[in-house]
Structure 1
């Protein structure tokens, strides 16, 4: 996302969030500690205030359930207590761990508000978590998973179309989705001020492969690869 033309991405660790058109809450290994840290920094209030001003809020992976009312944990977790979420979605989620698995799907049609521009987009990524959900509000499901025959649904989007959550990691590696998502942000701002010139020419998958190749060249140029293979017992 940070490599996308017209986007300035800032990582926040200790300071205030400040002004933002989009707040991404990334996944973590311990969502309970993540929620405690968010509250200790006062970010829960900042995120709420930004949302009320029209900013888009996106929770990914284990942080998607933090957008709901409560989050509890299945027997596979050491965490036993139920924690209070940010309350954007009127849902309760019991989080379940699973083996990392590829996930492909399609954004559902007819999404509310400015998010309608995302409708019908195909995406690929991976999931580490799933969840049992009790839903009480009028939130819309976000994505239909196409990897299995039961047409499972993933994620939610608020009735305003400005708060989204998904268990799927890597959604911004899908160039078509990211181009449309930036347009979505521009529409959500009401002024179209995010510049997306040449956006379609940016291929995130090719960019990642090029970066992997670049780092591989650096490793080869600075290590005795033959000796490394000998230590590892790899025959080449």
Structure 2
């Protein structure tokens, strides 16, 4: 199990790379995260949902994702705290205090998933959440040492040297852990190192002196291609930058407060002649945008209010008046319509209602069972698409007579009469190379497309595995994962 000395130390990426490395050695490897908090989710082959990071780790193993790989997923949303997803299905909505009381009852479900996932596996690589030393929350913990103790697995600490203070973070984590949890530590990894590794050697001796000789299992250099892989959470966003020479297209995405499934935009970010600007709150949407995309959100009505508070509605309407193009995906599609209603309190207080941007003649009502399905089809011009739907709303209206997509034989989405405003429920549509090339050529006629995005992701996973092979003794790490019986 890989536990961090803090959040965002690179655990997800390390586990993905190690999944690929050990899979290439012929082992049957499975990724596992007991509890995740993220609105970046993926649909599983068994009809559930898990964190996007675990879906990437499954891909690194050459597997389709299943719900047992992330048995507890918390999806933050406004007003009602977080949606609690257990073994792929929505269990309840809970505020932080209520969830703290709920957690102990979830541990048996977590262990059930772990045991089921282990059937037929040679190795399970487990990712912790946040910090291993959140001892104030230890009594109800199911994400770090609480799980490690219950499942009896050894633990490797991961520290991030790029943010500074890594010596204190490793030593401080050791100092806060009780003796029985210290005994579970097999060693530590230093991640995101830049510069000359020889300069770090004295630090290893210092940390050993303060941690009872806890071994360093590797110093992993900075992996520059990490940004080409899907990110776990919104901490990686906020990437608006100045246009550089040679860029042809500018795509702008407003970073709403509960942005979800933002890996939809990774294929666009990988295009060499395109600049993707994720615009954070407090900044206007750039006026030179070729396309504005309204992203998914865990709380459509709350984020419609948030969008207006930022003045982004004014920017979007001005963009349309200038002849600009707008695309909405899932919640972003809902926002483009005349109104969004939540009579049953699916995302917030029952009876909630908000006017949309009025750019599509459609209306959305939050109701019914959650749609969780992988699907494929084609766009209105015949280009193949595939991806997944993950939503509660039902959208209807005159513009739905001009669907953007046909998925599994059913119409999906809507287009304005002039075709400049479009929306759909399909996440992942830009990963389809033919669709993406044609869509971007529609923004700038004559633009050539040639990026093979899915192949790029697999190539980066292979290079990440090579990167870790050079930095970590994987035979030693594998041996540590199989401690002698107690």
Q: Structure 2 stretches of 5 or more lacking a match?
A: 1-267
Is the 2:400–2:412 contact (alpha carbons within 8 Å) kept by the matching residues of 1? Answer: no
Q: Structure 1 stretches of 5 or more lacking a match?
A: 109-118, 232-236
Alpha-carbon distance, 1:185 to partner: 0.5
| SS in structure 2 of the partner of residue 47 of structure 1 | helix
| SS in structure 2 of the partner of residue 54 of structure 1 | coil
* CA deviation profile, 1:99-127 (whole Å, cap 9, x unmatched): 5321211113xxxxxxxxxx111100111
Cα distance in 2 for partners of 1:228, 1:27 equals 41
- Is the alpha carbon distance of 1:229 and 1:158 closer, same or farther for their aligned partners in structure 2, counting shifts above 3 Å? farther
Cα distance in 2 for partners of 1:74, 1:215 equals 47
**Which of residues 298, 305, 313 in structure 2 aligns to 1:29?**
298
Cα distance in 2 for partners of 1:125, 1:179 equals 17
Is the 1:61–1:169 contact (alpha carbons within 8 Å) kept by the matching residues of 2? Answer: yes
**Which of residues 275, 279, 285 in structure 2 aligns to 1:17?**
285
| SS in structure 2 of the partner of residue 37 of structure 1 | helix
Say if 2:472 is the partner of 1:203: no
Say if 2:385 is the partner of 1:123: yes
Alpha-carbon distance, 1:39 to partner: 0.3
Alpha-carbon distance, 1:78 to partner: 3.9
Is the 1:70–1:84 contact (alpha carbons within 8 Å) kept by the matching residues of 2? Answer: yes
Cα distance in 2 for partners of 1:217, 1:228 equals 20
Cα distance in 2 for partners of 1:98, 1:222 equals 42
Cα distance in 1 for partners of 2:414, 2:399 equals 11
Decide which moves more: 60-69 or 95-104. Answer: 95-104
* CA deviation profile, 1:47-83 (whole Å, cap 9, x unmatched): 0000111111011122210000011236471422011
Cα distance in 2 for partners of 1:138, 1:153 equals 8
Cα distance in 1 for partners of 2:372, 2:336 equals 22
TM-score by length of 1: 0.78
2:443 is matched with 185
1:114 is matched with none
Say if 2:362 is the partner of 1:87: no
TM-score by length of 2: 0.40
Higher normalized contact order (CA 8 Å, seq sep 6+, divided by chain length): 1
Say if 2:478 is the partner of 1:226: yes
**Which of residues 270, 277, 282 in structure 2 aligns to 1:3?**
270
- Is the alpha carbon distance of 1:138 and 1:159 closer, same or farther for their aligned partners in structure 2, counting shifts above 3 Å? farther
Cα distance in 2 for partners of 1:135, 1:3 equals 35
Alpha-carbon distance, 1:177 to partner: 0.5
Alpha-carbon distance, 1:32 to partner: 2.0
Alpha-carbon distance, 1:46 to partner: 0.4
Is the 1:22–1:56 contact (alpha carbons within 8 Å) kept by the matching residues of 2? Answer: yes
Is the 2:326–2:422 contact (alpha carbons within 8 Å) kept by the matching residues of 1? Answer: yes
Say if 2:405 is the partner of 1:143: yes
Cα distance in 1 for partners of 2:345, 2:407 equals 24
Q: CA RMSD in A?
A: 2.5
Q: Which has the larger radius of gyration?
A: 2
Cα distance in 2 for partners of 1:54, 1:228 equals 60
* CA deviation profile, 1:177-233 (whole Å, cap 9, x unmatched): 11101111114xxxx6xxx34x22x101111222333444556645974377459xx
Task: Give the number of equivalent residue pairs.
Answer: 208
- Is the alpha carbon distance of 1:204 and 1:228 closer, same or farther for their aligned partners in structure 2, counting shifts above 3 Å? farther
